[in-house]
Amino acid sequence: MKLTLWTYEGPPHVGAMRVATGMTGLHYVLHAPQGDTYADLLFTMIERRNHRPPVTYTTFQARDLGADTANLFKDAARDAYARFTPQAMIVGASCTAELIQDDPGGLAGALDLPCPVIPLDLPSYQRKENFGADETFHQLCRALAKPMPRTEQITCNILGATALGFRHRDDVAEITKLLGLMGISVNVAAPLGASPADIARMGQAHFNVLLYPETGESAARWLERACVQPYTKCVPIGVGATRDFLHEVAALTGLSPQVDESALRLPWWSASVDSTYLTGKRVFLFGDATHVIAAARIAATEIGFEVVGMGCYNREFARPMRAAAKAYGLEALISDDYLEVEDAIAAAAPELILGTQQERHIGKRLGIPCAVISSPVHVQDFPARYSPQMGFEGANVIFDTWIHPLVMGLEEHLLTMFREDFEFHSDAGPSHHGGKADLREMAEDAPLADAARGALPPGFASPRDISGQKMEAEAPPLPASPVWQALAERELKKIPFFVRGKAKRNTEAYASEQGVAEISVETLYEAKAHYAR
């Protein structure tokens, strides 16, 4: 039993729903009690889908448990076929139905429905959403895909995109375009946008492009064996990874990896002088392993950030995650415990978080800007505009998205120079964000006398109360913390909020190291010089 406030992943049957809802002509009969229909709203509300997920819930109640839930399932499956006449059906159980052990696969098989019926075995008490999607797609391929003659032209399948995926819709479009530039057309993209009939002709492709290992790797591995289709291992998120991907495809096909890069802007945007203020900014990354590993490479080598922490919530990918973190001299955080992630972020005191919807909340609490790079995401991360993460346009989108939450470069300088301005101060938030600035009292500046008595000036150490207390509380305590002199405290307060936490920690660490008991203004600047990069 484990206490959970927020979960990064839903249960495995939600993963199966992501496959079914992304496809056409497939219907999912789910043995489940009333209430499990909440999952429909993930698709109709968060993703704004204009149709109901193709799912029939058997909706058993307490009074059915003593009677005949098996017949309830059979009726539901029969009615679902009659009403929706799908090309194929998947059947399975949610967490509660798993406990009553009705065997949906066996029951549906006995109905002799005039379409393929694929049973799903998704252990709800051991596995989670990504596993459910991956396994469902894998089973669909096993049941429907067969080896067949290759297409005359070089074609590939694109694997792994599902409903409710982070930017999957646009990633598939971008990669299709990119492959088109190499002269490769797409045979089938699945699950998103495919029908069971499409899955049945996947064997025609020359190779597979695996975009999302979390939801497509099992299918890719099975197709490699059964249909002798190699698959790509490089996920094309970022400039370097996209070029690597093109070379990988070139090696598989013998085509040239040189494509038109005239629409790629990230490298110049990073190199232009305005981006100097990005250099060395401390970033913490958390999300699914694929997106975090790719984002770390972009952060470190394509924008020039310093990666100070990274991790993923999907334990299945702990190994590659740990290896990637090691390359940045870090220990990966593998956890699906929201509070543990929050503690790790507080301790690392980054200047930018790249995470999921969860980290966006952590960022808000700690007063640290955050951009979203991975599922789970909320309705605002399903934009109307074309907004891929993959390929060259994806790299452009990523630059804009990550930079947006930060205070702009020149603004940062002005804040450093004139931080006591009552309208334009470090607590007001970046000026390109609306609805944030709260005017300070003009005379709020703490009188020296207060500071001398030992009281911390208001707003000390962090711009927002909660985050301040939180940061103080969560940061590992330093042995015999040195005492701040009043003047040094005032000086610290003049440092803009986005670096103040780091400056405070560095100064205290430096003072402890040097055996300085009282921090003076001089100590502050000695520490600054000591840590200067």
Nearer to other proteins, 79 or 340 (CB): 79
* Known catalytic residue at 68: no
* Least Cβ distance, residue 365 to other proteins (angstroms): 5
What φ, ψ does residue 25 adopt, rounded to 5°?
Answer: 75, 10
Say if residue 36 carries a ligand binding annotation.
Answer: yes
Say if residue 238 carries a ligand binding annotation.
Answer: no
52 near other proteins (CB under 8 A): yes
* Least Cβ distance, residue 430 to other proteins (angstroms): 21
3-state helix/strand/coil string of 411-464: HHHHHHHCCCCCCCCHHHCCCCCCCCCCCCCCCCCCCHHHHHCCCCCCCCCCCC
94 near other proteins (CB under 8 A): yes
**Dist CA 125 CA 458 (whole Å):** 48
39 near other proteins (CB under 8 A): yes
* Least Cβ distance, residue 494 to other proteins (angstroms): 29
List Cβ neighbours of 370 (8 Å cut-off, separation of 6 or more).
352, 353, 354, 355, 359, 360, 362, 363, 364, 405
**Dist CA 385 CA 403 (whole Å):** 18
**Contact region for other proteins (CB under 8 A) — 27-35, 162-170, 433-441, 500-508?**
27-35
464 near other proteins (CB under 8 A): no
38 near other proteins (CB under 8 A): yes
218 near other proteins (CB under 8 A): no
**Dist CA 328 CA 297 (whole Å):** 9
* Least Cβ distance, residue 125 to other proteins (angstroms): 5
What φ, ψ does residue 342 adopt, rounded to 5°?
Answer: -60, -45
Which residue, 236, 265, 253, 220, is CA-closest to 178? Answer: 236
Nearer to other proteins, 46 or 408 (CB): 46
* Least Cβ distance, residue 456 to other proteins (angstroms): 23
Nearer to other proteins, 95 or 521 (CB): 95
* Least Cβ distance, residue 32 to other proteins (angstroms): 8
Among 45, 197, 251, 323, binds other proteins (CB under 8 A): 45
**Contact region for other proteins (CB under 8 A) — 60-68, 146-154, 398-406, 504-512?**
60-68
**Dist CA 114 CA 316 (whole Å):** 37
Among 17, 23, 76, 205, binds other proteins (CB under 8 A): 76
Which of 274, 400, 450, 465 is an active site residue?
274
Nearer to other proteins, 1 or 443 (CB): 1
With beta carbons less than 8 A apart as the criterion, state whether 17 and 43 touch.
yes
**Contact region for other proteins (CB under 8 A) — 37-45, 253-261, 417-425, 519-527?**
37-45
- 493: three-class secondary structure by DSSP: helix
Let me know if 173 is exposed, middle or buried by CB neighbors in 10 A (0-12, 13-18, 19+). middle
**Contact region for other proteins (CB under 8 A) — 61-69, 240-248, 445-453, 479-487?**
61-69
40 near other proteins (CB under 8 A): yes
With beta carbons less than 8 A apart as the criterion, state whether 288 and 324 touch.
no
Say if residue 107 carries a ligand binding annotation.
Answer: no
**Dist CA 369 CA 348 (whole Å):** 14
**Contact region for other proteins (CB under 8 A) — 121-129, 222-230, 248-256, 313-321?**
121-129
Query: Which secondary structure element, helix H or strand E, spans residue 57, and what is its range?
Result: strand 55-57
The DSSP output letter for 470 is: H
**Dist CA 149 CA 204 (whole Å):** 6
Q: Count the residues of the shown chain that bind other proteins, applying the rule CB under 8 A.
A: 61
**Dist CA 18 CA 40 (whole Å):** 10
User: What is the length of the chain?
Assistant: 533
Among 33, 54, 213, 501, binds other proteins (CB under 8 A): 33
Nearer to other proteins, 3 or 529 (CB): 3
| Separation in Å, CA 394 to CA 269, 285, 410 | 14, 18, 27
Let me know if 526 is exposed, middle or buried by CB neighbors in 10 A (0-12, 13-18, 19+). middle
- What single letter denotes the amino acid at residue 114? P
Which residue, 518, 345, 494, 472, is CA-closest to 416? Answer: 494
* Least Cβ distance, residue 165 to other proteins (angstroms): 16
Nearer to other proteins, 339 or 483 (CB): 339
13 near other proteins (CB under 8 A): yes
Among 67, 71, 99, 106, binds other proteins (CB under 8 A): 99
**Dihedral angle over CA of 365, 371, 372, 373, nearest 10:** -130
Among 112, 125, 260, 423, binds other proteins (CB under 8 A): 125
* Least Cβ distance, residue 137 to other proteins (angstroms): 20
Per-residue x/- marks for other proteins, 350-389, CB under 8 A?
-------xx--xx-xx----------x-x-----------
The DSSP output letter for 211 is: S
> Which neighbouring-strand residues pair with 209?
158
Binding residues for [4Fe-4S] cluster: 36
Residues marked active site are found at 274
Give contact residues for other proteins (rule: CB under 8 A): 1-7, 9-11, 13-14, 33-42, 44-46, 48-52, 56-62, 64-65, 76, 79, 83, 94-96, 99-100, 123-126, 128, 339, 357-358, 361-362, 364-365, 376, 378
Known binding-site residue numbers for substrate:
409-410
